[in-house]
Amino acid sequence: MAKQGILEEVTQDGWALAWASESDKLDKAVVLAAVKQNGRALCYASTALQDDKEVVLEAVSQYWGSIEYASNRLKEEVIKAWLGLELWSRVNG
């Protein structure tokens, strides 16, 4: 499928990333479009993009549970950042 075609597919339905080619799952623009539509689509992204901060933050902002599919490095970083914001808002709230 041509890049424009897969971009249209994942923009409409992030789950379409499941049926995308391996090269599409490595394409940051395609994966970003998918996780913006459905954060859970992060589970179909390449390992490299599961370790991409921008992609993971986009997925997590759409659906917190997608943190499960982030690399261990980013899971830790994102959770620490979230806990810091949570504590800050309680103290300064």
Q: Helix 72-92 and helix 53-62: axis angle, to 10°? A: 60
> What average pLDDT score do residues 75-93 get?
79
Euclidean distance between CA atoms 25 and 48, whole angstroms: 10
pLDDT, position 88: 66
Identity of the residue numbered 8:
E
Dihedrals phi, psi of 46, to nearest 5 degrees: -65, 160
pTM of the predicted structure, to 2 decimals: 0.86
Euclidean distance between CA atoms 47 and 26, whole angstroms: 8
Is residue 79 a contact partner of residue 67, using CB atoms and an 8 Å limit?
Answer: yes
Per-residue pLDDT of 26-66, as tens digits, reads 999 999 999 999 999 999 999 999 999 999 999 999 999 99
Q: Which domain holds residue 31?
A: 3-92
Total domain count, the chain: 1
